[in-house]
Homo-oligomer: A and B are copies of this chain.
Amino acid sequence: MTAIKKTSTIQENKQYALAACPVTYVMERIGGYWKPIILYHLSHGDRRYSELRKAIPAITEKMLIQHLKQLETDQLVIREARPVVPPFVTYRLTDAGKGLLPVIDAMATWAMKNMEGAFS
């Protein structure tokens, strides 16, 4: 069959989408199953790691930290660790993170309307 692939189209597409589409830009940051949920829980104020775990029982610890780290490097949350004996770490939204809440609200509003059949 002799492969003809020149370069990775996947990466090309990613670049294309990122450059051309702000929606993709947002998706890259809050896409995935857990990020919006985490953001939602942080919207009410700062939370400890263990509080988040209890608030979102279905998430695994690996996913929780992984996403928290990504949100941190994306400048959407701030991690604050106090150097105490049993670790005490809190997470809270940055201004950019808070700026996403209207987006989430808009989505929630549409979802409610749609689920109620407002459009059908």
Q: Interface on A for B, CB 8 Å cutoff?
A: 9, 12-14, 16-17, 20-27, 31, 33, 36-37, 40, 58-59, 75, 94-96, 99-100, 102-104, 106-108, 110-115, 119-120
Contacts and interface: CB of A to CB of B under 8 A. Distances in A.
Copies of this protein in the assembly total 2
Contact of A103 (B13, B14, B31, B106): B106
A66 to B, nearest CB: 15
Interface residues of A, dominant DSSP: helix
Contact of A102 (B23, B106, B112): B106
Contact of A26 (B20, B24, B40, B107): B107
A33 B17 contact: yes
